[in-house]
Amino acid sequence: MATQKCNRVVSFALFIAVALPVTLFFLNTSDIWKLKGAILNIVGSHDRKSSSNDNITKINMANMTMEISPNLTSCHDSYGRPDLLVNCCPPLSATDDVAIDFQYIYSKSSKLRVRRSAHHLDTTYIAKYTKALTIMKSLPYSDPRSFSRQALLHCTFCTGAYDQKFSSATIDIHRQWLFYPFHRMYLYFHERILASLIDDDTFALPFWNWDNPDSMIFPKMFLEGPFVDSQREPSHFNKVVDLNYNSYTVGNASGEQEQVDTNLAFMYNQVIAAAKKPELFMGCPLYPGEDGYCDGPGTVELAPHNTVHTWVGLSSNPHNENMGAFYSAGWDPCFYSHHANLDRIWDVWRDIHGMYLPINDTVWLNSYFYFYNENLQLVKIKVSDVLNTKELGYTYEETDLAWLNKRPKPFISPKIAKHILKTQENYHNETSRLHLFSNKLEGRSLKYPIKVKVPRPKPYRSKEEIKEEEEVLVVYGIKTKGDGIVKFDVYVNLVNETNVGPTYREFAGTFVRLPMKRIGASNGNKKSRLKLGISELLRDLEADRDESIWVTLLPKTSSCANTVIDGVRIDYMR
């Protein structure tokens, strides 16, 4: 039997090495994409069913084009929000045959541009930025360097206005692994255009350092001159930002210092505890075509990215526009500083976890986009081009990472918590005569909190397994029927739903979904999932040897009533 199995493996390997390249040579483009889908099924696409090994699939097949890229001639109307059809397309469709390949223009001997904290800028810098942005806003819409065209870039790539090449599937740079590299490209060209408008090659964008205690209040520079945007929530200007903002409800923090402490504990969870593997931090792997669809955002993209967007936007607008809705966010000048901080945190995460090349996948590395540079040239730039900020000519001012030592502690003793949970379970079973704690929820509404007992497939892992694998809590089959902002928090072994928040170790993470809709009937059936690393959390809760844990999904917005969940499970990710 073993010999037969070995022979089958060898035969398949020979097919891949010899027959496949020859076959591809004779196939036309559409056939290649069909064959690609078949091979992904055979080899094992990354996020199918419930694999115990959630590593990002590495596919590198000879003569096969496998990358995500926009079809520049396919721009069409799209939905800025579920009730609003928009057109974010540029005035004329470009073609990729006029694009030039990206080239680094800075050598190792060049002086790096330094992106500085928006709270620590001097008047000279602010005057430069004011001049550059004023000129950019004065340029006509026909000029791709103009502020209006820069703002619409985000709308174009976050609403599915472009189809992918060789496919009718659309491109959205949120909620998957292209999120960080796309925004890095976007800011890079935006920054270079601003610098060229004032003929100052040293100019660099500022970043809003909202993860630092002395920079959590909205930057004052954005309340003056060309940085003003009328579509912001004025009641938030003098308050500490809530990185775990609930949008329609009041946060748990009762004072400024408590909000700072909550933010620091939240950052620790989102960057360190819950995001020890690339997919957990960066999002799920997106592959070409409709079959390669995924909707599983990384921890920081969910929050603070989504939550700060909403916190800044005007709450009286339908969906907190401008910043609160992706189609309009680019119109607020603070958008670029918000994303500069996210770009910085990407590098911080890589340094903390020792991942210079976070994803070694051909599809991710070869995926590319197009941007106009300061010389009005259309540039094709790949993900592999933007992995090192110093090669791009810039770096970040060093700031204190105050959240590194903010590891939360349990609300109550783990032993007492487990005793209370066991008592609650016994009482429920005795009074109802039914065991209602199945982790398979099958479309259960999130109108009210959901509490389920989730089995751990591998409670007694070896030291080697513990070292190599991250235990991952997966909330799957998340589907929103309405059009509001959806947010729910996730807790493990929580005994009291009134004493909650990121400052307690029971907090595992959060799910945030801003309103969205896609062109095409098939997009309406797509479901999302949330993945959170919990290995460290389980050790702190003394649950790392338990055969099951209690998971609580706590709705934080009214739109959760229109959201359903299919289930909760535990996977393991190497």
Encode pLDDT of 239-287 as tens digits: 999 999 997 544 445 689 999 999 999 999 999 999 999 999 999 999 9
* Residues annotated catalytic, as ranges: 154, 174, 183, 305, 309, 326, 339
- Cis peptide preceding 63, ω within 30 of 0: no
CA-CA-CA-CA dihedral for 232, 212, 125, 322, to nearest 10: -20
Q: Could you tell me which of 413, 570, 537, 553 has the C-alpha nearest to residue 488?
A: 553
DSSP bridge pairs for 564: 445, 479
Report the pLDDT value the prediction gives residue 197, as an integer from 0 to 100: 98
Amino acid of residue 182: F
Quick check: 322 and 328 in contact, CB under 8 A?
A: yes
Q: How far apart are CA 166 and CA 180, in angstroms?
A: 24
Report the pLDDT value the prediction gives residue 65, as an integer from 0 to 100: 52
Quick check: 286 and 57 in contact, CB under 8 A?
A: no
Count of CB atoms situated within 10 Å of the CB of 30: 10
Q: How far apart are CA 132 and CA 381, in angstroms?
A: 24
Question: Could you read off the pLDDT of 295-326 as tens digits, one per residue?
Answer: 999 999 999 999 999 999 999 999 999 999 99
Q: Whole-angstrom distance between the N-terminal and C-terminal Cα of the chain?
A: 29
Quick check: 522 and 167 in contact, CB under 8 A?
A: no
In the DSSP assignment, the letter for residue 165 is: T
Q: Which residues of the chain carry a pLDDT beneath 50? A: 1-64, 249-252, 433-435, 521-522
Question: Could you read off the pLDDT of 517-551 as tens digits, one per residue?
Answer: 877 544 556 899 999 999 999 999 999 999 999 99
Q: How far apart are CA 552 and CA 563, in angstroms?
A: 15
What's the half-sphere exposure (Cβ side, CA atoms, 13 Å) at 467?
A: 3
Domains and CATH numbers, the chain: 78-396 (1.10.1280.10), 414-573 (2.60.120)
Q: How far apart are CA 445 and CA 303, in angstroms?
A: 22
Residue with tokens 């901080």: 341
In b/e form, how buried is each residue of 216-229, taking b as 16+ CB within 10 angstroms?
A: bebbebbeeebbeb
Tell me how far CA of residue 531 lies from CA of 103, 280, 509, 527, 568, in angstroms. Answer: 36, 6, 9, 14, 10
Quick check: 188 and 373 in contact, CB under 8 A?
A: no
- The two beta strands, 394-396 and 113-115, are parallel
**pTM (predicted TM-score):** 0.88
Report the pLDDT value the prediction gives residue 254, as an integer from 0 to 100: 60
DSSP bridge pairs for 451: 552
For 548, residues 6+ apart whose C-beta sits below 8 A from its C-beta are 453, 454, 455, 456
Quick check: 551 and 473 in contact, CB under 8 A?
A: yes
Report the pLDDT value the prediction gives residue 92, as an integer from 0 to 100: 79
Structure tokens at 502: 């990121």
Q: Could you tell me which of 215, 211, 247, 231 has the C-alpha nearest to residue 342?
A: 211
Q: Could you tell me which of 156, 155, 135 has the C-alpha nearest to residue 145?
A: 135
Residue-level length of the chain: 574
Report the pLDDT value the prediction gives residue 47, as an integer from 0 to 100: 36
Residue with tokens 């609930």: 246
Tell me how far CA of residue 71 lies from CA of 33, 84, 167, 168, 361, in angstroms. Answer: 15, 23, 9, 10, 22
- The two beta strands, 470-480 and 563-573, are antiparallel
Report the pLDDT value the prediction gives residue 432, as an integer from 0 to 100: 55
Report the pLDDT value the prediction gives residue 49, as an integer from 0 to 100: 35
Report the pLDDT value the prediction gives residue 253, as an integer from 0 to 100: 55
316, burial (CB in 10 Å: exposed 0-12, middle 13-18, buried 19+): exposed
Q: Is 50 helix (H, G, I), strand (E, B) or coil?
A: coil
Structure tokens at 341: 């901080």
Rg for the chain, CA atoms, rounded: 24
Secondary structure in 3-state letters for 229-284: CCCECHHHCCCECCCCCCCCCCCCCCCHHHHHHHHHHHHHHHHHHCCCCHHHHHCC
300, burial (CB in 10 Å: exposed 0-12, middle 13-18, buried 19+): buried
Report the pLDDT value the prediction gives residue 326, as an integer from 0 to 100: 95
Q: Is 125 helix (H, G, I), strand (E, B) or coil?
A: helix
Phi/psi of residue 89, each to 5°?
Answer: -70, 145
Report the pLDDT value the prediction gives residue 250, as an integer from 0 to 100: 46
Secondary structure in 3-state letters for 534-549: CHHHHHHCCCCCCCEE
Amino acid of residue 231: Q
Q: Could you tell me which of 510, 431, 57 has the C-alpha nearest to residue 265?
A: 510
